[in-house]
């Protein structure tokens, strides 16, 4: 990072302010990154657990695959999923608020008894799939926020803080050199003036 600055006290004070802001923000950013990393890991575990439950449920249903071919497709459908937002580690992610299912009327006497439990199974499966999709979306959002925070930590720690520190050091050295040069000039001028005042 190439900083533009002037070799004067005003420029040095401006750089010092910027440096102080970054030094103060760095621990907060590191803490945020750590929380986001842990949260991302936890959400991935939740997703893996949901996925495992979903797979197990599908394996159980494979045993009764012939029954499911008799299930009337128009009997059950998921109409809509209403989402809300929640905050996880300061990041807004989606969450399921409500799911609307559509179950058409059917005769309990004219249809097989297992139809009612079949509807309950389908509701359970669609809920799992909806939860998995929402958790996956949340993971993407958290991952993006963690990556941005990591980039900012690296930018501050490895680029900007060293650049500001180096610029301030250069200005200080320049100002010290100027002050020393002024003193030397004043000393020489004083010596000349004294030498001129003395009678020959």
Mean of the pLDDT values across residues 55-68? 81
Q: Which long-range contacts (CB under 8 A, 24 or more apart) does 140-147 make?
A: 141/91, 141/92, 141/93, 142/36, 142/39, 142/40, 142/43, 142/88, 142/89, 142/91, 142/93, 143/40, 145/36, 145/91, 146/33, 146/36, 146/37, 146/40
pTM confidence score: 0.76
Q: Say how many domains are in the chain.
A: 1
Closest CA to 39 of 95, 74, 3, 91: 91
For residue 134, the enclosing domain spans: 9-188
Structure confidence by residue, pLDDT tens digits, 5-52: 888 889 999 999 999 999 999 999 999 999 999 999 999 999 999 999
List, for residues 113-167, the tens digit of each pLDDT value: 777 788 888 889 889 999 999 999 999 999 999 999 999 999 999 999 999 999 9
* Structural domain contains residue 3: no
In a domain, 114, yes or no: yes
Q: What is the CATH classification number for the domain harbouring 126? A: 1.10.287.3240
Is 198 a domain residue?
A: no
Q: What are phi and psi of 97, to 5 degrees?
A: -100, -45
Residue 2 lies in a domain: no
Per the CB < 8 A criterion, the answer to whether 22 and 161 are in contact is yes
152 lies in some domain: yes
Residue 196 lies in a domain: no
Structural domain contains residue 144: yes
Q: Does some domain include residue 160?
A: yes
């Amino acid at each position: 990072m190439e900083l533009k600055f002037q070799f004067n006290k005003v420029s040095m004070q401006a750089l010092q302010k910027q440096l102080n802001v970054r030094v103060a923000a760095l621990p907060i950013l590191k803490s945020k990154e750590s929380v986001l990393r842990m949260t991302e890991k936890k959400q991935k575990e939740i997703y893996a657990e949901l996925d495992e439950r979903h797979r197990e449920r599908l394996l159980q249903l494979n045993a009764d695959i012939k029954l499911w071919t008799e299930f009337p497709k128009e009997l059950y459908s998921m109409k809509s999923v209403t989402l809300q937002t929640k905050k996880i580690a300061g990041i807004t992610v989606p969450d399921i608020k409500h799911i609307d299912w559509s179950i058409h009327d059917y005769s309990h006497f004219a249809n097989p008894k297992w139809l009612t439990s079949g509807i309950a199974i389908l509701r359970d499966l669609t809920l799992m799939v909806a939860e998995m999709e929402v958790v996956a979306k949340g993971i993407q959002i958290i991952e993006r926020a963690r990556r941005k925070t990591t980039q900012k930590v690296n930018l501050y720690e490895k680029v900007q803080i060293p650049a500001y520190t180096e610029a301030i050091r250069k200005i200080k050295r320049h100002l010290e050199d100027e002050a020393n040069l002024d003193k030397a000039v004043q000393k020489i001028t004083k010596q000349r003036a004294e030498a001129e005042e003395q009678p020959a």
